[in-house]
Every structure is written in C-alpha cells, then in structure tokens.
Structure 1
Amino acid sequence: MRLALAQIVSTADSAQNLSIVRDYAKRASSAGAELVVFPEATMCAFGNPLLDVAEPLDGPWAEEVRAIARDLGIVIVAGMFTPGSGARVRNTLLVTGPGVETSYDKIHLFDAFGFFESDGVDAGESPVTFEHNGTVFGLATCYDIRFPALFTSNARAGAMVNIVCASWGIGEGKAEQWDVLVRARALDSTTFIVACGQGDPSTVGIDANGAAPTGMGHSAVASPAGKSLLALGAGPELAVFDIDTNEVPDIRLKLPVLANARSL
C-alpha cells in the first residue's frame, strides 16, 4: 500500500490551509498514494481562537476536503476543530475519501508543558478505526501517543496501521521523546505507526505563538517491530512511501505481545 505524509505548516487562515491541503493531496495522488495523512490542526494552527473557526463535520471546510478527496480519488486524514459543548471545541480528525467516511475526537488532551488544551477543548470518548482496501487503520492525535492503551485497543479492533496526527510542541528533549514514542507504540501494538506532525513554523518565517504547540516537524513511520522507516526534517515536506501489511501477522507470530497481555 502506498501512503503519503503531508508535513505542512498551518496558518490562522482556514481557507489558505484548504489550498495547502489541495496542493499536497494532488501531489500525493500523482505519486500513486491512496491515502494521505495531514497533521493535527490542519484547519487552523494552535495559538489562534479555535472557537471562531470550528465547524461541524458537514460544514463548508469539511465539505471542501471531501470534494478534494473525491476529485483526486484519495483518502484524506486531516485535523480540524468541531463545535463542542458551550464555548468549547473538539479536536477532530476527519477521514474522507473513496468508500471511507469517519472521524475521531482526541481522547487525551494536552495539559502539559505549560499548555492546557482542556481549557477550551472537550475530550473524545471512544477509539475509532476504519477500513480501506482491506487494511484497518487506527486513529490517534498528538498527546494520545503517550498512552499505549489506545494503540493496543486499535490493534485489537483489527488495526494493522495506527495513524497519529500531531502538532508536537518544540522544547528540550521533545524531538527525542517523539522518536522514542513513535517506535514504542509500534512495538506495543505491533502495528505500523504513521505519524504526521506540523512543520516548524520558523522554517517558513512564521513566529510561533507563545506556549501553543505549533509543531516541530519530524514526521515519522515505524514498522511493527519498532524500526524507523522514515524520518523527516523540520520544514514542510511531502513524503510518499510503501508499506507491506503482510509484515504485521509475521511480527505478531514472533512477538505476540497482544496475545500474551494480561489484565492487572
């Protein structure tokens, strides 16, 4: 299966970000990818009033992403913000394309390193998987990667690939943590991890907004055995790559952590 990572730098302008989605999705489709992953907050960068841009899943922003996916014949995974309760939003992943339509609301909210996502965001409650061309994918968002149970839950639901969309904040040791966590979650769940982060805004001349996690790049792919298969730099980039899901049952025979796990 050929997939693509679209490591972009979102702006405060949701319409401009749609143009970026269209450009990267077109390039991914032209390269033969059947699914392209965009980062968390593709709709609008963190550090901006998210309530002002939040739209329902049948709103104009999501409908335009659907139109792009339909026109190109590609599945798109992209982060957006949907209305929550009262004056709050939900941090949502939209998944749309040929034969696929679902969404995931981020379960673990980023209340760490001086940022409090829960101040304005409602947490999701349920894991989500979807199937495309016979392969089951699990979904996760950024801070979720620090919680192994979500990834093993997706794997038990049939996932051979876990997608992580992120806007990973820059900070001391954060790049090293990201690398370790991507590979550790692959080993925990014996799935491929396809992790797409926002690029570092400074690489395109944008000043980061305070403590908001606006991205550092370093999107990555790890094998079910925890091997690094792909690692990007800091700036915007499209990476197209192939995975062989036949590796998953093979590694699960050798490393049956899902079968051997016991409830404690």
Structure 2
Amino acid sequence: MSLVHEICIDSTAGALAAEQAGAHRVELCSALFDGGLTPTLGTVEATLAAVSAIRVHVIVRPRGGDFIYDAYEVAAMERDVATIRDAGAQGVVIGVLTPSGEVDVEVARRLIDAAGDLSVTFHRAFDMTADAFAALDTLVSLGVDRVLTSGQDVTALEGAPLIASLVERAGDELVVMPGGGITPRNVHRVVEATGATEIHFAALVDAPSPAVHRNPHPFMGGELRRPEYGRLVTSPRLVSEVIAASGT
C-alpha cells in the first residue's frame, strides 16, 4: 500500500525539511502551540517559492479556541481562502462548527466556494463534533476531499477504532486521515488498525534560539509560557523515521 505522508509545519524551513525527507504534502500553519492558525501571506508565498516537489496546503483558522465564528471572522476566512488560492497553494484546510457540534454547512460552503479548484481538508474541528458519522456524511455531501481526525480521542492511536469505522464508512467518497500523537513508535500500529491511506504528523524537535543577548525577565505571551529562547523546528530525520516506520 502506498501511504501519503502529510507534515504539519509552521515555517518555510519546515516545508524544506519535509520535502528533503520525502514527505508528500505539508499543512502550513502558524502558532502550532494553539493548534495551528492561518499563516501570513508572506509565509505562504515564501514557502511556495522555496519548494518544488511537495504540495502545500494552508490552514485557514483565525484564532485559537472553539470553531464557532462570527460574521467578521467568516468574512476574514473567506478572504484568506481566496488569497491563498490566488497565491498558488494546492489546498486549504478549514473547520467550522455550530454551537450544537455539527458541521456549519452554510459557512463551509462559502469557504469551499472561495477555494475554487483547490483541495479542501476539514481539520480536527471534526473531533469536536457531537456525532462523528453524521459529520462525516455532511462533509461527503459538501464535496470535501479529506478529514483530519484523531478519532475524537487524545491521540490517533487511542482513537483508532473510530477512525477505522470512519474509513470504512467513507469508502472512496472522502479520505479519512489520522493525525494526533503519531510517532515512529506508533505509526505502523495506527496505519494497520485504521486502514488509512494518508497520515498527518508533526516532526518537531527542540532547537535553541540564536539570540546571544537574552533578557530573562519579560515574556511575550500569557501565563502559560513556553521558553522565550527555545524553538521547535521540523526535523528531516524525524520525518524520515516516521515514514520508514509506517512500513510503506
């Protein structure tokens, strides 16, 4: 079986690392600490200019938190999708819900229409739906190409039974792509348990900041703090390890 490997990244350097390691596609985001937000247009354009052998799908998510958006946020997302399409990306990644935990069909249709002929992935907002099978059927009816899911559990390995049922139900209508906590140690089990043909994972390792001058007192974020002088970067070695361990 040929398995498609999608890498979650937050920089052009991450896209180059994924390409170097042999991945097929990247999901370009910003703010991975928040689950991934819309990257800047400059980052999208720089990434598209830098890579040649890998597809770039771009997340459109204006903020962290829930997936219920007001009219201003919807208008911004619609504009972002169109801008990403015009920039030359190969796909967009969206996710919109109603307060009752259903796919927001009206907003999803607007974003899909703005995407034109781009590939459309529905992200892990799916994992917050009240009825995964009803949500899957809705996404099929909308013509979405794939859904990213951890099986509504902490990791894709723990959610593998539900993912397997979703894969079976979707058939050839939509790709169900496991994602969440996939590592070299568990990727083969996830693939075997779910029957998935595509997987999604980050391959991040710690890297020190190049800053020589460091002020230990101020912080740029809120109370939940990451180290100010540390980075997470996409590791070609770790991408390669997951691909090799997937057994495909």
* TM-score scaled by length of structure 2: 0.48
* TM-score scaled by length of structure 1: 0.46
- The structure where strand makes up a greater share of residues is 1
- The structure where helix makes up a greater share of residues is 2
